[in-house]
Protein backbone atom coordinates (compact mmCIF):
# COMPACT_ATOMS: atom_id res chain seq x y z
CA UNK A 1 0.00 0.00 0.00
CA UNK A 2 1.06 3.56 -0.62
CA UNK A 3 2.55 5.12 2.48
CA UNK A 4 2.29 8.69 1.24
CA UNK A 5 1.16 11.03 4.01
CA UNK A 6 -1.54 12.39 1.67
CA UNK A 7 -3.44 9.16 2.29
CA UNK A 8 -5.40 7.97 5.29
CA UNK A 9 -5.69 4.32 6.26
CA UNK A 10 -9.20 2.87 6.41
CA UNK A 11 -10.47 -0.58 7.23
CA UNK A 12 -13.24 -2.51 5.53
CA UNK A 13 -14.26 -6.19 5.67
CA UNK A 14 -11.23 -7.10 3.54
CA UNK A 15 -8.66 -5.26 5.62
CA UNK A 16 -6.77 -1.96 5.49
CA UNK A 17 -6.70 0.29 2.45
CA UNK A 18 -5.22 3.69 1.63
CA UNK A 19 -7.68 6.43 0.72
CA UNK A 20 -6.80 10.00 -0.38
CA UNK A 21 -6.76 12.11 2.76
CA UNK A 22 -9.15 14.75 1.41
CA UNK A 23 -11.61 12.28 -0.17
CA UNK A 24 -15.13 11.92 1.16
CA UNK A 25 -15.36 8.40 -0.28
CA UNK A 26 -13.81 5.48 1.56
CA UNK A 27 -12.06 2.15 1.23
CA UNK A 28 -14.75 0.31 -0.75
CA UNK A 29 -14.90 3.09 -3.31
CA UNK A 30 -11.12 3.19 -3.56
CA UNK A 31 -10.96 -0.56 -4.13
CA UNK A 32 -13.45 -0.14 -6.99
CA UNK A 33 -11.38 2.66 -8.50
CA UNK A 34 -8.36 0.34 -8.59
CA UNK A 35 -10.37 -2.69 -9.71
CA UNK A 36 -12.10 -0.96 -12.63
CA UNK A 37 -9.67 1.37 -14.47
CA UNK A 38 -11.74 0.85 -17.61
CA UNK A 39 -12.97 4.16 -18.99
CA UNK A 40 -13.69 7.80 -18.25
CA UNK A 41 -17.43 7.14 -18.09
CA UNK A 42 -19.28 7.98 -14.87
CA UNK A 43 -22.92 8.18 -13.86
CA UNK A 44 -24.42 11.55 -14.89
CA UNK A 45 -25.82 14.36 -12.77
CA UNK A 46 -29.42 13.14 -12.70
CA UNK A 47 -28.33 9.77 -11.34
CA UNK A 48 -26.29 11.34 -8.54
CA UNK A 49 -29.24 13.60 -7.77
CA UNK A 50 -31.51 10.56 -7.62
CA UNK A 51 -29.28 8.47 -5.36
CA UNK A 52 -28.78 11.46 -3.06
CA UNK A 53 -32.55 11.88 -2.77
CA UNK A 54 -32.99 8.17 -2.07
CA UNK A 55 -30.52 8.34 0.82
CA UNK A 56 -32.16 11.55 2.09
CA UNK A 57 -35.61 9.99 2.02
CA UNK A 58 -34.38 6.75 3.60
CA UNK A 59 -32.83 8.61 6.55
CA UNK A 60 -36.03 10.60 7.06
CA UNK A 61 -38.22 7.50 7.04
CA UNK A 62 -35.85 5.45 9.21
CA UNK A 63 -35.97 8.20 11.83
CA UNK A 64 -39.76 8.38 11.66
CA UNK A 65 -39.89 4.59 12.11
CA UNK A 66 -37.72 4.88 15.22
CA UNK A 67 -34.80 3.00 13.66
CA UNK A 68 -32.19 5.77 13.79
CA UNK A 69 -31.68 8.65 16.20
CA UNK A 70 -32.49 12.23 15.24
CA UNK A 71 -28.95 13.63 15.22
CA UNK A 72 -27.62 10.95 12.90
CA UNK A 73 -30.68 11.12 10.67
CA UNK A 74 -30.44 14.89 10.43
CA UNK A 75 -26.75 14.83 9.49
CA UNK A 76 -27.41 12.16 6.83
CA UNK A 77 -30.26 14.21 5.36
CA UNK A 78 -28.07 17.32 5.18
CA UNK A 79 -25.23 15.42 3.53
CA UNK A 80 -27.53 13.58 1.13
CA UNK A 81 -29.22 16.85 0.16
CA UNK A 82 -25.83 18.32 -0.66
CA UNK A 83 -25.06 15.26 -2.81
CA UNK A 84 -28.36 15.60 -4.65
CA UNK A 85 -27.61 19.28 -5.31
CA UNK A 86 -24.26 18.47 -6.93
CA UNK A 87 -21.83 19.64 -4.23
CA UNK A 88 -19.95 16.35 -4.24
CA UNK A 89 -20.15 15.25 -7.88
CA UNK A 90 -16.35 15.07 -8.04
CA UNK A 91 -16.44 12.41 -5.30
CA UNK A 92 -18.36 9.94 -7.46
CA UNK A 93 -15.34 8.30 -9.02
CA UNK A 94 -16.36 4.72 -9.84
CA UNK A 95 -16.27 3.64 -13.47
CA UNK A 96 -19.51 2.63 -15.20
CA UNK A 97 -17.92 -0.72 -16.08
CA UNK A 98 -17.93 -2.18 -12.58
CA UNK A 99 -19.75 -4.81 -10.58
CA UNK A 100 -22.98 -5.55 -12.42
CA UNK A 101 -25.20 -4.74 -9.44
CA UNK A 102 -23.72 -1.26 -9.08
CA UNK A 103 -22.63 -2.09 -5.52
CA UNK A 104 -19.50 0.01 -5.88
CA UNK A 105 -21.51 3.08 -6.84
CA UNK A 106 -24.00 2.51 -4.01
CA UNK A 107 -21.10 2.28 -1.55
CA UNK A 108 -19.53 5.35 -3.13
CA UNK A 109 -22.72 7.24 -2.23
CA UNK A 110 -22.92 5.67 1.23
CA UNK A 111 -19.31 6.60 2.04
CA UNK A 112 -19.53 10.15 0.73
CA UNK A 113 -22.73 10.81 2.66
CA UNK A 114 -21.55 9.16 5.87
CA UNK A 115 -18.23 11.03 5.85
CA UNK A 116 -19.91 14.34 5.16
CA UNK A 117 -22.38 13.59 7.97
CA UNK A 118 -19.48 12.75 10.29
CA UNK A 119 -17.86 16.06 9.34
CA UNK A 120 -21.10 17.93 10.10
CA UNK A 121 -21.18 16.31 13.54
CA UNK A 122 -17.53 17.23 14.22
CA UNK A 123 -16.06 13.76 13.82
CA UNK A 124 -13.13 12.46 11.79
CA UNK A 125 -13.68 11.52 8.15
CA UNK A 126 -13.03 7.83 7.60
CA UNK A 127 -13.80 6.86 11.20
CA UNK A 128 -17.33 5.57 10.46
CA UNK A 129 -18.23 7.14 13.80
CA UNK A 130 -20.86 8.30 14.63
CA UNK A 131 -22.31 7.68 11.15
CA UNK A 132 -21.67 4.34 9.48
CA UNK A 133 -22.04 4.01 5.67
CA UNK A 134 -23.72 0.59 5.88
CA UNK A 135 -25.47 0.62 9.26
CA UNK A 136 -26.94 4.11 8.94
CA UNK A 137 -26.84 5.50 5.38
CA UNK A 138 -27.70 2.14 3.77
CA UNK A 139 -30.20 1.08 6.44
CA UNK A 140 -33.09 -0.91 4.98
CA UNK A 141 -31.45 -0.99 1.55
CA UNK A 142 -29.34 -3.12 -0.76
CA UNK A 143 -27.40 -2.13 -3.86
CA UNK A 144 -29.71 -4.55 -5.67
CA UNK A 145 -32.73 -2.33 -5.03
CA UNK A 146 -31.07 1.09 -4.67
CA UNK A 147 -29.30 1.13 -8.05
CA UNK A 148 -32.32 0.15 -10.19
CA UNK A 149 -34.39 2.65 -8.20
CA UNK A 150 -31.86 5.41 -8.85
CA UNK A 151 -31.78 4.52 -12.56
CA UNK A 152 -35.58 4.66 -12.76
CA UNK A 153 -35.82 7.97 -10.90
CA UNK A 154 -33.06 9.62 -12.92
CA UNK A 155 -34.61 8.40 -16.18
CA UNK A 156 -37.99 9.72 -15.09
CA UNK A 157 -36.42 13.06 -14.20
CA UNK A 158 -34.70 13.28 -17.55
CA UNK A 159 -37.82 12.36 -19.51
CA UNK A 160 -40.30 14.54 -17.65
CA UNK A 161 -38.10 17.57 -16.98
CA UNK A 162 -35.89 17.60 -20.09
CA UNK A 163 -36.83 15.33 -22.97
CA UNK A 164 -40.57 15.85 -23.27
CA UNK A 165 -40.29 19.67 -22.87
CA UNK A 166 -37.61 19.68 -25.62
CA UNK A 167 -39.79 17.57 -27.89
CA UNK A 168 -42.71 19.91 -27.29
CA UNK A 169 -40.51 22.81 -28.44
CA UNK A 170 -39.55 20.89 -31.58
CA UNK A 171 -43.15 19.86 -32.27
CA UNK A 172 -44.33 23.45 -31.92
CA UNK A 173 -41.66 24.79 -34.28
CA UNK A 174 -42.51 22.14 -36.85
CA UNK A 175 -46.18 23.00 -36.41
CA UNK A 176 -45.50 26.66 -37.06
CA UNK A 177 -43.73 25.78 -40.28
CA UNK A 178 -46.59 23.47 -41.28
CA UNK A 179 -48.97 26.43 -41.06
CA UNK A 180 -46.55 28.83 -42.76
CA UNK A 181 -45.92 26.49 -45.70
CA UNK A 182 -49.42 25.03 -46.14
CA UNK A 183 -50.01 26.91 -49.41
CA UNK A 184 -46.56 26.19 -50.86
CA UNK A 185 -46.97 23.38 -53.39
CA UNK A 186 -44.11 20.98 -54.04
CA UNK A 187 -43.47 17.65 -55.67
CA UNK A 188 -44.36 14.61 -53.65
CA UNK A 189 -41.85 11.79 -53.94
CA UNK A 190 -42.22 8.03 -53.65
CA UNK A 191 -39.32 5.63 -54.34
CA UNK A 192 -37.22 8.83 -54.73
CA UNK A 193 -39.21 9.51 -57.90
CA UNK A 194 -41.63 12.33 -58.69
CA UNK A 195 -45.16 11.70 -57.42
CA UNK A 196 -48.31 13.79 -57.20
CA UNK A 197 -48.06 17.22 -55.57
CA UNK A 198 -48.09 17.84 -51.88
CA UNK A 199 -47.66 21.06 -49.98
CA UNK A 200 -44.53 21.83 -48.04
CA UNK A 201 -46.80 22.38 -45.06
CA UNK A 202 -48.20 18.87 -45.39
CA UNK A 203 -44.67 17.47 -45.30
CA UNK A 204 -44.05 19.34 -42.07
CA UNK A 205 -47.43 18.19 -40.78
CA UNK A 206 -46.11 14.63 -41.14
CA UNK A 207 -43.05 15.59 -39.08
CA UNK A 208 -45.31 16.99 -36.38
CA UNK A 209 -47.16 13.69 -36.26
CA UNK A 210 -43.92 11.73 -35.83
CA UNK A 211 -42.82 13.83 -32.86
CA UNK A 212 -46.29 13.81 -31.32
CA UNK A 213 -46.46 10.01 -31.50
CA UNK A 214 -42.98 9.72 -29.96
CA UNK A 215 -44.00 11.93 -27.05
CA UNK A 216 -46.97 9.64 -26.44
CA UNK A 217 -44.82 6.48 -26.62
CA UNK A 218 -42.17 7.83 -24.27
CA UNK A 219 -44.77 9.12 -21.84
CA UNK A 220 -46.46 5.70 -21.75
CA UNK A 221 -43.13 4.04 -20.90
CA UNK A 222 -42.92 6.28 -17.82
CA UNK A 223 -45.68 4.28 -16.16
CA UNK A 224 -43.34 1.32 -15.61
CA UNK A 225 -40.32 3.54 -15.01
CA UNK A 226 -42.14 5.20 -12.10
CA UNK A 227 -42.33 1.80 -10.34
CA UNK A 228 -39.19 1.21 -8.27
CA UNK A 229 -37.50 -1.81 -6.74
CA UNK A 230 -36.71 -0.16 -3.39
CA UNK A 231 -37.83 -2.36 -0.50
CA UNK A 232 -36.84 -5.67 -2.03
CA UNK A 233 -33.28 -5.45 -0.63
CA UNK A 234 -31.05 -8.34 -1.77
CA UNK A 235 -33.32 -10.69 -3.74
CA UNK A 236 -36.80 -9.20 -3.57
CA UNK A 237 -37.89 -10.64 -0.23
CA UNK A 238 -37.31 -7.39 1.67
CA UNK A 239 -35.04 -8.95 4.28
CA UNK A 240 -33.66 -6.44 6.84
CA UNK A 241 -36.10 -3.68 5.95
CA UNK A 242 -39.20 -2.35 7.67
CA UNK A 243 -42.51 -3.27 6.04
CA UNK A 244 -43.42 0.40 5.65
CA UNK A 245 -39.98 1.56 4.56
CA UNK A 246 -40.33 1.49 0.79
CA UNK A 247 -43.84 2.91 0.48
CA UNK A 248 -43.00 5.77 2.83
CA UNK A 249 -39.71 6.52 1.05
CA UNK A 250 -41.62 6.63 -2.25
CA UNK A 251 -44.01 9.18 -0.75
CA UNK A 252 -41.09 11.40 0.27
CA UNK A 253 -39.50 11.04 -3.16
CA UNK A 254 -42.77 11.85 -4.93
CA UNK A 255 -43.21 15.00 -2.87
CA UNK A 256 -39.59 16.07 -3.40
CA UNK A 257 -39.65 15.58 -7.17
CA UNK A 258 -43.28 16.44 -7.92
CA UNK A 259 -43.38 13.12 -9.79
CA UNK A 260 -45.21 9.89 -9.05
CA UNK A 261 -42.78 7.36 -7.59
CA UNK A 262 -44.39 4.13 -6.42
CA UNK A 263 -43.17 0.86 -4.97
CA UNK A 264 -43.45 -2.07 -7.35
CA UNK A 265 -46.08 -4.69 -6.59
CA UNK A 266 -43.63 -7.42 -7.65
CA UNK A 267 -40.14 -7.01 -6.23
CA UNK A 268 -38.93 -10.26 -7.74
CA UNK A 269 -39.68 -8.98 -11.23
CA UNK A 270 -38.36 -5.50 -10.51
CA UNK A 271 -34.96 -6.69 -9.29
CA UNK A 272 -34.32 -9.60 -11.61
CA UNK A 273 -35.11 -7.85 -14.90
CA UNK A 274 -34.43 -4.66 -16.81
CA UNK A 275 -37.68 -4.95 -18.77
CA UNK A 276 -38.84 -1.42 -17.96
CA UNK A 277 -35.53 0.02 -19.18
CA UNK A 278 -35.68 -2.06 -22.36
CA UNK A 279 -39.19 -0.79 -23.07
CA UNK A 280 -38.26 2.82 -22.38
CA UNK A 281 -35.15 2.55 -24.54
CA UNK A 282 -37.29 1.14 -27.34
CA UNK A 283 -39.44 4.27 -27.31
CA UNK A 284 -36.28 6.40 -27.40
CA UNK A 285 -34.98 4.39 -30.34
CA UNK A 286 -38.26 4.99 -32.18
CA UNK A 287 -37.85 8.71 -31.55
CA UNK A 288 -34.29 8.50 -32.90
CA UNK A 289 -35.56 6.82 -36.07
CA UNK A 290 -38.17 9.57 -36.48
CA UNK A 291 -35.61 12.32 -35.95
CA UNK A 292 -33.29 10.78 -38.52
CA UNK A 293 -36.10 10.63 -41.06
CA UNK A 294 -37.06 14.26 -40.43
CA UNK A 295 -33.45 15.46 -40.49
CA UNK A 296 -32.67 13.60 -43.71
CA UNK A 297 -35.83 14.87 -45.44
CA UNK A 298 -34.85 18.40 -44.51
CA UNK A 299 -31.31 17.81 -45.77
CA UNK A 300 -32.65 16.56 -49.09
CA UNK A 301 -35.22 19.35 -49.51
CA UNK A 302 -32.49 21.89 -48.82
CA UNK A 303 -29.88 20.24 -51.05
CA UNK A 304 -28.10 22.37 -53.63
CA UNK A 305 -28.65 25.26 -53.60
CA UNK A 306 -28.33 25.15 -57.41
CA UNK A 307 -27.63 21.51 -58.26
CA UNK A 308 -29.99 19.86 -55.78
CA UNK A 309 -33.68 19.91 -54.88
CA UNK A 310 -33.53 23.29 -53.18
CA UNK A 311 -37.17 23.50 -52.10
CA UNK A 312 -36.16 25.10 -48.80
CA UNK A 313 -33.38 27.31 -47.53
CA UNK A 314 -31.80 26.23 -44.26
CA UNK A 315 -30.33 28.80 -41.87
CA UNK A 316 -26.61 29.36 -42.38
CA UNK A 317 -24.99 28.73 -39.01
CA UNK A 318 -21.35 28.22 -39.98
CA UNK A 319 -19.03 27.99 -43.01
CA UNK A 320 -19.36 24.56 -44.56
CA UNK A 321 -15.97 23.95 -46.07
CA UNK A 322 -12.31 24.61 -45.39
CA UNK A 323 -11.59 24.62 -49.13
CA UNK A 324 -14.78 25.64 -50.97
CA UNK A 325 -15.64 29.33 -50.46
CA UNK A 326 -19.30 30.11 -49.77
CA UNK A 327 -20.32 26.50 -49.14
CA UNK A 328 -22.86 26.07 -46.36
CA UNK A 329 -23.71 22.60 -45.06
CA UNK A 330 -26.80 21.30 -43.19
CA UNK A 331 -24.76 20.84 -40.04
CA UNK A 332 -27.65 20.89 -37.57
CA UNK A 333 -29.59 18.06 -39.30
CA UNK A 334 -26.31 16.17 -39.55
CA UNK A 335 -25.83 16.43 -35.78
CA UNK A 336 -29.38 15.11 -35.33
CA UNK A 337 -28.56 12.07 -37.46
CA UNK A 338 -25.44 11.36 -35.42
CA UNK A 339 -27.36 11.53 -32.15
CA UNK A 340 -29.95 9.18 -33.65
CA UNK A 341 -27.23 6.70 -34.55
CA UNK A 342 -25.82 6.86 -31.01
CA UNK A 343 -29.25 6.28 -29.44
CA UNK A 344 -29.92 3.30 -31.71
CA UNK A 345 -26.57 1.85 -30.64
CA UNK A 346 -27.34 2.56 -26.98
CA UNK A 347 -30.61 0.68 -27.36
CA UNK A 348 -28.77 -2.39 -28.62
CA UNK A 349 -26.54 -2.28 -25.54
CA UNK A 350 -29.61 -2.06 -23.31
CA UNK A 351 -31.27 -4.96 -25.13
CA UNK A 352 -28.19 -7.13 -24.58
CA UNK A 353 -28.06 -6.00 -20.95
CA UNK A 354 -31.72 -6.87 -20.53
CA UNK A 355 -30.95 -10.42 -21.62
CA UNK A 356 -28.31 -10.78 -18.92
CA UNK A 357 -30.48 -11.38 -15.89
CA UNK A 358 -29.75 -14.58 -14.00
CA UNK A 359 -32.13 -15.72 -11.30
CA UNK A 360 -32.67 -12.83 -8.83
CA UNK A 361 -30.52 -10.09 -10.34
CA UNK A 362 -29.44 -8.58 -13.62
CA UNK A 363 -25.69 -8.00 -13.61
CA UNK A 364 -25.54 -5.27 -16.24
CA UNK A 365 -27.42 -2.52 -14.44
CA UNK A 366 -24.70 0.17 -14.59
CA UNK A 367 -24.13 -0.02 -18.35
CA UNK A 368 -27.87 -0.24 -19.07
CA UNK A 369 -28.54 2.75 -16.84
CA UNK A 370 -25.70 4.79 -18.31
CA UNK A 371 -26.81 4.20 -21.90
CA UNK A 372 -30.46 4.95 -21.14
CA UNK A 373 -29.58 8.19 -19.38
CA UNK A 374 -27.20 9.20 -22.15
CA UNK A 375 -29.93 8.63 -24.75
CA UNK A 376 -32.37 10.77 -22.78
CA UNK A 377 -29.79 13.51 -22.34
CA UNK A 378 -28.59 13.79 -25.93
CA UNK A 379 -32.09 13.46 -27.39
CA UNK A 380 -33.19 16.30 -25.12
CA UNK A 381 -30.35 18.55 -26.21
CA UNK A 382 -30.49 17.78 -29.91
CA UNK A 383 -34.28 18.19 -30.16
CA UNK A 384 -34.36 21.71 -28.75
CA UNK A 385 -31.23 22.63 -30.72
CA UNK A 386 -32.79 21.29 -33.93
CA UNK A 387 -35.82 23.47 -33.27
CA UNK A 388 -33.94 26.70 -32.51
CA UNK A 389 -30.91 26.39 -34.82
CA UNK A 390 -32.60 24.94 -37.88
CA UNK A 391 -36.39 24.52 -38.01
CA UNK A 392 -37.29 28.03 -36.89
CA UNK A 393 -35.17 29.59 -39.65
CA UNK A 394 -36.24 27.45 -42.62
CA UNK A 395 -37.59 29.39 -45.61
CA UNK A 396 -39.49 28.11 -48.64
CA UNK A 397 -38.07 28.79 -52.11
CA UNK A 398 -39.79 29.07 -55.48
CA UNK A 399 -38.21 25.83 -56.74
CA UNK A 400 -40.92 23.64 -55.26
CA UNK A 401 -43.82 25.23 -57.17
CA UNK A 402 -41.68 25.55 -60.31
CA UNK A 403 -40.80 21.85 -60.31
CA UNK A 404 -44.45 20.90 -59.88
CA UNK A 405 -45.42 23.03 -62.87
CA UNK A 406 -42.79 21.37 -65.04
CA UNK A 407 -43.24 17.90 -63.59
CA UNK A 408 -44.92 14.87 -65.11
CA UNK A 409 -46.84 13.53 -62.14
CA UNK A 410 -49.69 15.99 -62.53
CA UNK A 411 -50.79 13.90 -65.51
CA UNK A 412 -52.37 11.67 -62.84
CA UNK A 413 -55.41 13.96 -62.61
CA UNK A 414 -56.11 13.46 -66.31
CA UNK A 415 -56.82 9.76 -65.74
CA UNK A 416 -60.48 10.14 -64.69
CA UNK A 417 -61.11 12.21 -67.86
CA UNK A 418 -59.12 10.43 -70.61
CA UNK A 419 -58.04 7.12 -69.05
CA UNK A 420 -54.72 5.80 -67.75
CA UNK A 421 -53.21 4.84 -71.11
CA UNK A 422 -53.92 8.18 -72.78
CA UNK A 423 -52.58 10.08 -69.76
CA UNK A 424 -49.42 7.92 -69.84
CA UNK A 425 -48.85 8.79 -73.49
CA UNK A 426 -49.13 12.49 -72.67
CA UNK A 427 -46.59 12.09 -69.84
CA UNK A 428 -44.18 10.23 -72.14
CA UNK A 429 -44.43 12.86 -74.83
CA UNK A 430 -43.87 15.64 -72.29
CA UNK A 431 -40.80 13.82 -71.05
CA UNK A 432 -39.50 13.29 -74.61
CA UNK A 433 -40.13 16.82 -75.85
CA UNK A 434 -39.36 18.77 -72.69
CA UNK A 435 -42.79 20.40 -72.79
CA UNK A 436 -45.20 20.60 -69.86
CA UNK A 437 -48.16 18.28 -69.29
CA UNK A 438 -50.43 21.27 -69.88
CA UNK A 439 -48.88 22.01 -73.26
CA UNK A 440 -49.23 18.43 -74.50
CA UNK A 441 -52.73 18.02 -73.06
CA UNK A 442 -53.92 21.06 -75.00
CA UNK A 443 -52.73 19.36 -78.18
CA UNK A 444 -53.80 15.80 -77.46
CA UNK A 445 -57.20 16.16 -75.76
CA UNK A 446 -60.53 17.83 -76.42
CA UNK A 447 -60.65 19.25 -72.90
CA UNK A 448 -61.03 23.04 -72.85
CA UNK A 449 -58.22 25.21 -71.59
CA UNK A 450 -60.47 26.37 -68.76
CA UNK A 451 -61.09 22.78 -67.64
CA UNK A 452 -57.43 21.84 -68.07
CA UNK A 453 -56.45 24.72 -65.78
CA UNK A 454 -58.84 23.34 -63.20
CA UNK A 455 -57.90 19.66 -63.65
CA UNK A 456 -54.15 20.29 -63.64
CA UNK A 457 -54.17 22.79 -60.76
CA UNK A 458 -51.45 21.43 -58.45
CA UNK A 459 -53.07 22.75 -55.27
CA UNK A 460 -56.28 20.89 -56.01
CA UNK A 461 -54.26 17.65 -56.00
CA UNK A 462 -53.22 18.21 -52.39
CA UNK A 463 -56.79 18.07 -51.08
CA UNK A 464 -58.39 14.73 -50.32
CA UNK A 465 -61.35 13.90 -52.57
CA UNK A 466 -60.73 16.68 -55.07
CA UNK A 467 -60.28 14.19 -57.91
CA UNK A 468 -61.22 10.59 -58.48
CA UNK A 469 -59.68 7.72 -60.36
CA UNK A 470 -57.01 5.02 -59.91
CA UNK A 471 -53.66 5.76 -58.32
CA UNK A 472 -50.46 3.89 -57.67
CA UNK A 473 -47.09 4.23 -56.09
Q: Is 321 among the residues known to form the active site?
A: yes
Decide if 155 contacts 276 (C-beta within 8 A): no
Backbone torsions φ then ψ of 430, nearest 5 degrees: -60, -40
Bridge pairing between strands 7-12 and 15-20? antiparallel
φ and ψ of 418, to 5 deg = -125, -5
Residue 322 CA, chain-centre distance (Å), reads 33
- Phi first, then psi, for residue 371 (nearest 5°) are -65, -40
As a whole number of angstroms, the distance between CA 125 and CA 111 comes to 10
Catalytic residue among 191, 258, 322, 468: 191
Q: Cα(first)–Cα(last) distance of the chain, in Å?
A: 73
Catalytic one of 321, 448, 466, 471: 321
Give me the sign of the Cα torsion angle 276, 281, 286, 290.
Answer: positive
Q: Is residue 381 annotated as a catalytic residue, yes or no?
A: no
What residues contact 89, with CB distance under 8 A and at least 6 apart? 45, 48
Q: Which residues are catalytic?
A: 191, 321
Amino acid sequence: MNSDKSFRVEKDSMGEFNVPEDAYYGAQTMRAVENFPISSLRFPRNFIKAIGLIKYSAAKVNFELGLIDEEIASSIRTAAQEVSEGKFDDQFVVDIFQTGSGTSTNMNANEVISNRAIEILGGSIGSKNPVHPNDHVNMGQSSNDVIPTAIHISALLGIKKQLIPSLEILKNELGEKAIEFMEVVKTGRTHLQDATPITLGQSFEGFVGQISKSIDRIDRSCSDISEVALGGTAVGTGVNTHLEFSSRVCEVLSDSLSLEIKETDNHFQAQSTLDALVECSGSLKTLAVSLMKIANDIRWMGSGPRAGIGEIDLPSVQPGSSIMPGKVNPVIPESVCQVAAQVIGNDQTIVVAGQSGNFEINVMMPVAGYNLLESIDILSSVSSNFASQCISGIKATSKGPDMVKNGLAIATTLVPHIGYDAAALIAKEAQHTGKTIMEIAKLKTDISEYDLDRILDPMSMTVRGSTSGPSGG
